[in-house]
Amino acid sequence: MTKSFFLSCMMAVLMPSFAAAQTHARLNGGKFVSNEEITVERLNCNGTAVQFARGVRWAPANYSPIVSINDSATVQLHPSCYTDMVCGQFRGKPVVVIIDAPACGGNAVGEEYIVIDLASRRKQVLNEAQARQARLIR
């Protein structure tokens, strides 16, 4: 009885953490991703499946990365170094924000924040000040 009770308690503690949707993904595993590296990351933003892909059959490395929304609609990004993908809200609508670091680890060029509206699939590029003002970053 103690063993099954212990297992039940462990499952009750661990299951919510596994069931929670991931709302942030590192696109680089801790380093800046060049345009040639294989990267596939998925998020669930308010029930919408979002995938960033580069270097795979449907988004070859020598082409721009692709963001797929619900495995159908795609948004093309320009070749660059990307660091993170985060779910958020922008002007009251669910969005995914992809952080573009054009300097690829250097500090000569500031980061840009690519905001993709999950309903309309429209993208908008914000600088750091605009992203802070919109409360997309701290």
pLDDT over threshold 60, residue 6:
no
Q: What is the pLDDT of residues 49-91, one digit of tens each?
A: 999 988 777 666 566 788 999 988 899 998 888 889 999 999 9
* Residue 43 near residue 37 (C-beta atoms within 8 A): no
pLDDT (0 to 100) of residue 9: 39
- pLDDT for position 59: 64
pLDDT for residue 36: 61
Q: What pTM does this model have?
A: 0.75
pLDDT 10s digits, 78-126: 888 888 999 999 999 999 999 988 777 677 678 899 999 999 999 999 9
